[in-house]
A and B are shown apart, each in its own frame.
Chain A
């Protein structure tokens, strides 16, 4: 609007007011001045406020004694550990729940997404109902539902549900046998890594041979034999160094075994169920995005339905699926911060506790933000590599 009035007043071209370069320079200078002005004002206020509240700024507080307990500790931690270590524990917990959630959500999402395209009316409808329910309620509500609606009303330890493989389910969580690795267990791991390397090598050579001579090699079955066979062989050679520590029922509680607490379980289940609904939609859109002509052309070339899916449809569908899938993985990681609502000690929860105890609001929030930014960047970097391998290579 303003530009028009100026135009009418000074119709002569060449006036510097109408020069887009000068205008943009002026406007940007204004923005920079305003920005630095407000930053200066904010910094001034923060310093003022901190002095008034007698809070020392800086990151020295990270070395102080934390003095609070954390219920899930993947690494050694006591209340005597430092604040810094508490934050690391939180970060690890976030990473654990995010990775577990991403894997489960992807599996459920792919099953439901393919189910929505099924020929079968009933399966199609069941999958649609699943997607429409979970897409339209807040993730926090799903977490609460698992936590106080499902897991909290399970029977007490004495009346636990007995599940297969010696595992138990009760109010206090899910108990399952813990694998205890004996001496020489590292052999199995080494064998597994070696098998992976060999499988890759076989696949590489097989492709080269097929390119050169046209002869095919049963890569899939060879790889399965290698990846399963070598570790099993190592297991037998090392003298079967694996025993299980089964959970046992005592009078008031269960002892032994490995315990997944209800906080973790409900967060993990809720994030998986919730994100799976979105992944299902992405998968459906991806498969529908591959045009019918591709399938028909592949059929005309003489491929059977298995190779058509594997060589023609899935690679093209993945190309559509991967970018939105990445943002769903990021969403899941960010949604894991809802753990604070049920007391699972993830990064946000521990950082919140640290922040409350020390009063270091600025540093606490800064650490939280940077940690999530780094997690997000790492996830998108990994997915970008995958995407680059999948992307269409054009001239």
Chain B
């Protein structure tokens, strides 16, 4: 037998060759992502055309041509409109936003008392930030302070009438202050209320179940405006003569009940996703109903539906803008109200004010949705199917 001559087999591995030129670098990326086929190239050209058409206009309007400061409408109006700008000028009138900024934030809250909402905002941020960062300890205490103590403290700070603070009626509250307080209270009330409604809907007691189903389906079938109408027009009729309560409070009740119905459906989805074995396991351990729900089922169910809960919060935050229809002036309401100020009436005012309001709303909603994505990733225990 002949010996196998293996001298031609190399003994050490060859170094990896770099990928071919067409598969790496910027050119390959462009080829793969922008011009993969004829259709793709046409789409890319179309996309570039859209961007090239919109983006310069937006940048010109919002930054380059924009007017940042000024005493009145003249800085934002063209000569033919009685201003100082050349004819044909279009640009954002940030001067308007600048001049009205205090109103946009506080509404008609008395100027000398504005430190009170500011203090509430500082407290809120100081309690919220450690709540949102998972590594900070003492979450329980933090939650109690944020969800139980802060609302009470804020109520006394904002409305006053006690501890030597002058009383500020809620009709003078406005702007971002109203938007945030409405949505904060809505969030704090709607989550527990919605959970109770969801539990009621899955209860074994037929009457409780029926009532919860009727409430949830009824509220989800009608627009928020009708609920607000109901709260502002019909609620006073329901109370004995002489008993009235604040319009702001009525809006709060309307918004909270509305959000609770949606929250109930979200929580129900979570409850349904928990396998029967978990309920039975809890029963076999001898836990009572509330122990079973509070210790076993709800923690798992709520975790499953965090994204949907945050979506409901975002929806509610956006929906608070509707209170302007029952003449409570939230951020959007105050902006809208100020658009009719003759001192600032130019063709650019409406656009600028609304873009500013949109930006503020967007910032909050986008932040919430990003935070929910982060939490979802963090809580993902890998048991997902």
| CA of A169 to CA of B380, assembled, Å | 53
| CA of A27 to CA of B211, assembled, Å | 13
| CA of A153 to CA of B350, assembled, Å | 9
Q: Is the CB of B321 within 8 A of A140?
A: yes
Q: Is the CB of B223 within 8 A of A334?
A: yes
> Nearest Cβ in chain A — how far from B225, in angstroms?
5
Q: Is the CB of A149 within 8 A of B350?
A: yes
| CA of A338 to CA of B226, assembled, Å | 10
Query: With an 8 A cutoff between CB atoms, is A48 at the interface?
Result: yes
20 contacts between A and B (CB under 8 A): A46-B237, A49-B237, A119-B36, A136-B361, A136-B362, A140-B322, A140-B324, A141-B357, A141-B361, A145-B354, A148-B339, A148-B350, A149-B350, A334-B223, A340-B225, A341-B325, A352-B229, A361-B234, A362-B234, A373-B218
Query: With an 8 A cutoff between CB atoms, is B63 at the interface?
Result: no
Query: With an 8 A cutoff between CB atoms, is B247 at the interface?
Result: no
Query: With an 8 A cutoff between CB atoms, is A385 at the interface?
Result: no
Query: With an 8 A cutoff between CB atoms, is A240 at the interface?
Result: no
Could you give, for residues 33-47 of chain B, a 1 whenever the CB lies within 8 Å of some chain A CB and a 0 otherwise?
110100010011001
Query: With an 8 A cutoff between CB atoms, is B241 at the interface?
Result: yes
| CA of A139 to CA of B233, assembled, Å | 24
**Residue among A35, A133, A334, A340 with max Cβ neighbours from chain B (10 Å):** A334
Q: Is the CB of B237 within 8 A of A362?
A: yes
- Select A126's contact among B47, B206, B324, beta carbons within 8 Å: B47
Query: With an 8 A cutoff between CB atoms, is A31 at the interface?
Result: yes
Q: Is the CB of A119 within 8 A of B238?
A: no
Chain A residue total in the interface (Cβ 8 A): 60
- Which B residues between 180 and 231 are near A, CB-CB below 8 angstroms? 204-208, 211, 218, 221-226, 229-230
B75 / chain A contacts, CB cutoff of 8 Å: none
A35 / chain B contacts, CB cutoff of 8 Å: 211
Query: With an 8 A cutoff between CB atoms, is B318 at the interface?
Result: yes
Q: Is the CB of B211 within 8 A of A372?
A: no
Query: A123-B43, A126-B51, A362-B237 known; A31 and B207 CB under 8 Å?
Result: yes
Q: Is the CB of A137 within 8 A of B361?
A: yes
Chain B residue total in the interface (Cβ 8 A): 59
Could you give, for residues 366-380 of chain A, a 1 whenever the CB lies within 8 Å of some chain B CB and a 0 otherwise?
001100110011000
Query: A119-B33, A337-B225, A341-B325 known; A3 and B205 CB under 8 Å?
Result: no
Query: A48-B241, A138-B319 known; A31 and B211 CB under 8 Å?
Result: yes
Q: Is the CB of B350 within 8 A of A152?
A: yes
Q: Is the CB of A120 within 8 A of B47?
A: yes
Q: Is the CB of B351 within 8 A of A149?
A: yes
Q: Is the CB of A138 within 8 A of B332?
A: yes
Query: With an 8 A cutoff between CB atoms, is B162 at the interface?
Result: no
> Nearest Cβ in chain B — how far from A14, in angstroms?
17
B289 / chain A contacts, CB cutoff of 8 Å: 3
Q: Is the CB of A24 within 8 A of B205?
A: yes
Query: With an 8 A cutoff between CB atoms, is A52 at the interface?
Result: yes
| CA of A110 to CA of B205, assembled, Å | 43
Q: Is the CB of B361 within 8 A of A28?
A: no
Could you give, for residues 228-259 of chain B, a 1 whenever the CB lies within 8 Å of some chain A CB and a 0 otherwise?
01100110111111000000000000000000
Query: With an 8 A cutoff between CB atoms, is B366 at the interface?
Result: yes
Query: A28-B208, A122-B47, A153-B351 known; A338 and B33 CB under 8 Å?
Result: no
* A→B interface (CB under 8 Å): 1, 3-4, 7, 24, 27-28, 31-32, 35, 42, 45-46, 48-50, 52, 118-123, 126, 132-133, 135-141, 144-145, 148-150, 152-153, 330, 334-335, 337-338, 340-341, 348, 352, 355, 361-362, 364-365, 368-369, 372-373, 376-377
The 10 closest A-B pairs by CB, nearest first: A136-B365, A121-B33, A334-B223, A138-B318, A122-B47, A148-B350, A337-B223, A149-B351, A138-B321, A3-B288
Query: With an 8 A cutoff between CB atoms, is B290 at the interface?
Result: yes
Query: With an 8 A cutoff between CB atoms, is B328 at the interface?
Result: no
Nearest B residue to A1 by beta-carbon distance? B290
B322 / chain A contacts, CB cutoff of 8 Å: 138, 140, 338
B365 / chain A contacts, CB cutoff of 8 Å: 135-137
Q: Is the CB of A132 within 8 A of B226?
A: no
Q: Is the CB of B366 within 8 A of A136?
A: yes
- Which B residues between 312 and 329 are near A, CB-CB below 8 angstroms? 314, 318-319, 321-322, 324-325
> Nearest Cβ in chain B — how far from A39, in angstroms?
10
Query: With an 8 A cutoff between CB atoms, is B122 at the interface?
Result: no
Q: Is the CB of B233 within 8 A of A361?
A: yes
Query: With an 8 A cutoff between CB atoms, is B375 at the interface?
Result: no
- Which B residues between 343 and 359 are near A, CB-CB below 8 angstroms? 347, 350-351, 354-355, 357-358
> Nearest Cβ in chain B — how far from A152, in angstroms?
7
Q: Is the CB of A50 within 8 A of B314?
A: no
Besides the contacts A4-B291, A28-B206, what 7 more A-B pairs have beta carbons closer than 8 Å? Answer: A45-B241, A120-B34, A145-B351, A150-B351, A334-B222, A365-B233, A373-B222
B303 / chain A contacts, CB cutoff of 8 Å: none
Q: Is the CB of A335 within 8 A of B347?
A: no
| CA of A334 to CA of B226, assembled, Å | 10
Q: Is the CB of B207 within 8 A of A28?
A: yes
B48 / chain A contacts, CB cutoff of 8 Å: 122
A362 / chain B contacts, CB cutoff of 8 Å: 234, 237
Q: Is the CB of B237 within 8 A of A145?
A: no
Query: With an 8 A cutoff between CB atoms, is B116 at the interface?
Result: no
Q: Is the CB of A3 within 8 A of B290?
A: yes
A152 / chain B contacts, CB cutoff of 8 Å: 350
Could you give, for residues 102-141 of chain B, a 1 whenever the CB lies within 8 Å of some chain A CB and a 0 otherwise?
0000000000000000000000000000000000000000
Query: With an 8 A cutoff between CB atoms, is B100 at the interface?
Result: no
Query: A31-B211, A45-B239, A120-B47 known; A348 and B223 CB under 8 Å?
Result: yes
